[in-house]
Amino acid sequence: AQSVTQLDSHVSVSEGTPVLLRCNYSSSYSPSLFWYVQHPNKGLQLLLKYTSAATLVKGINGFEAEFKKSETSFHLTKPSAHMSDAAEYFCVVSTTTSGTYKYIFGTGTRLKVLA
Amino acid sequence: EPEVTQTPSHQVTQMGQEVILRCVPISNHLYFYWYRQILGQKVEFLVSFYNNEISEKSEIFDDQFSVERPDGSNFTLKIRSTKLEDSAMYFCASGGRVSGNQPQHFGDGTRLSIL
């Protein structure tokens, strides 16, 4: 069965410093992986997706993620945190059963950005 | 940019009552989903819907739950005889103009509170 594990439930960074949110996946075949962000009282917004085209994936708002098969990782990074990045981030794997797809979510990482 | 819209944003209901959560998916999408997030827990898959029928449902999606696409634009989740443990944020998503592995687009959610 496919799954994702987010290694940190909370991450705090200072504004202007790099962000690293860690995600490891488990999959018996090449996975489709996503990062979503959830701001308070809002829905889930797609940041970026990996679907085997390129290992380094660029997303919105300066975020990017690198797919590393040898490490089964898909960590999310940003060079310089902004106050508006404070939110909850979800690593997601898309899994299929007989041609239908569904998302399996990680437990989420709450990012706090300090002034 | 097209959005998934959900109504109401917050629903308060007495235990034992029926509720209907409404969603308007993105118009040219073919695949529809409901997920829920109990406070403090991860987002969980409930059901997927394609071609006017359920594609897959989770163990959570028992006979208490049903989904319907009554008029070609709305996608509803009905919960009969609500229980306290049904209190959660319910997210609708749509995706897959071509295949089910396209990114899913989420609404802002309906917060369901059962008293």
Per-residue tens of pLDDT for chain A, all 115 residues: 789 999 999 999 999 999 999 999 998 777 889 999 999 888 899 999 998 778 899 999 999 999 999 999 999 999 999 999 999 999 999 888 766 788 999 999 999 999 9
- Separation in Å, CA of B5 to nearest CA in chain A: 10
| Partners of residue A100 in chain B, C-beta under 8 Å | 48, 50, 55-56, 100
Q: CB distance A44–B43 less than 8 Å?
A: yes
For residue B98, the model assigns a pLDDT of 64
Write the residue in B42, B50, B107 that is nearest to A100 by C-beta: B50
| Partners of residue A46 in chain B, C-beta under 8 Å | 103-105
What span, in angstroms and rounded, lies between the C-alpha atoms of A20 and B36? 27
Q: Which residue of A has its CA nearest to B106?
A: A44
Write the residue in A34, A104, A108 that is nearest to B103 by C-beta: A34
Q: What is the pLDDT of residues A9-30, one digit of tens each?
A: 999 999 999 999 999 999 877 7
CA Rg value for chain B: 13
Contacts of B60 (CB under 8 A, 6+ apart): B36, B44, B46
- Separation in Å, CA of A30 to nearest CA in chain B: 13
Q: What is the pLDDT of residues B39-71, one digit of tens each?
A: 988 999 999 998 889 999 999 999 999 999 988
Q: List Cα–Cα distances, A53 to A49, A50, A57, A92, B20, in angstroms.
A: 10, 7, 9, 17, 40
The contact set of A with B (CB < 8 A) is 32, 34, 36, 41-46, 49, 51, 90, 94, 96-97, 99-108
- Mean pLDDT along residues B6-21: 96
Q: CB distance B48–A49 less than 8 Å?
A: no
Q: Which residue of A has its CA nearest to B47?
A: A102
Q: CB distance B101–A45 less than 8 Å?
A: no
With vertex at residue A47, the alpha carbon angle to CA A41 and CA B21, rounded to the nearest 5 degrees, is 40
Among A63, A52, A41, A62, which residue's Cα sits nearest to residue A93? A52
Locate A114 and state its tokens: 């300090």
For residue A68, the model assigns a pLDDT of 93
Number of other residues whose CB lies within 10 A of the CB of residue A14: 11
